[in-house]
Amino acid sequence: MIETALYDPSCRRCPRLASFRDEVKAEHPDYWCRPVAAFGDAAPRILVVGLAPGLHGANRSGRPFTGDYAGILLYETLHALGIGSQPQSVAADDPLRLTGLRITNAVKCLPPANKPTPDEIRRCNAFLAAELAAHASARVLVALGRIAHDAVLAALAIRRGGVPFGHGAEHHLENGRVLLDSYHCSRYNTNTRRLTVQMFHDVLARAVALAAR
């Protein structure tokens, strides 16, 4: 299957992340605690790139943005836009389906305090590059946060200098793709009103409009 070609479920190339996963697994034996594969349409028009699995979210469930607050806003928005078959992602084996959209992360493993190091981001970037190459149908890339934005550019071998991150920014890349930026849909960003439901909806609605062209 395509997931096994684009990520390694037993990857331990980042010692700190591998050790942290082991610690969490010892405390929560029923958690996934492995690299998390992408989820969604196998031939997407839109690829959403997040930061990394959350401790009690994707790291627990094994599906991106599933089990934590960020996933609530993301999947409710996708459902409202007609992309998600249901408004909630409950578990990796629930019947949720995404149409024309796929979700992945810049870093596939849970980082301590949700903060991967620059070296860890670089080590994992080959997987994102492989995803972007395999899913050439994804003409619209949505980066949730600056780290995801920078990871997409690195994966496409594009210099960051001329493509600055900014919420709502729309970057037309040389390869014909469009990169859209959004603040991450984290609880912190929404609680502080840095990101509102409407702001997030507007970015994803724009992605849908661009993908339909």
The continuous run of DSSP H or E covering 141 comes out as: strand 140-144
pLDDT at 175: 83
For the chain, list residues with pLDDT below 50. 1-4
Nearest to 40 by CA among 117, 131, 118, 114: 131
**Homologous superfamily, domain 32-211:** Uracil-DNA glycosylase-like domain (3.40.470.10)
Domain parsing of the chain, residue ranges: 32-211
CA distances from 9 to 3, 36, 43, 62, 130 (A): 9, 7, 22, 10, 15
Residues in the chain: 213
pLDDT at 174: 83
pLDDT at 2: 42
Cβ-contact 195, 185 below 8 angstroms: yes
pTM value? 0.95
pLDDT at 7: 79
pLDDT at 95: 97
Nearest 10 degrees: Cα torsion 199, 204, 169, 120: 100
Residue 15: burial class (beta carbons within 10 Å; 0-12, 13-18, 19+):
exposed
Helix (H, G, I), strand (E, B) or coil at 103: strand
Backbone angles phi, psi at 140, to 5 degrees: -115, 125
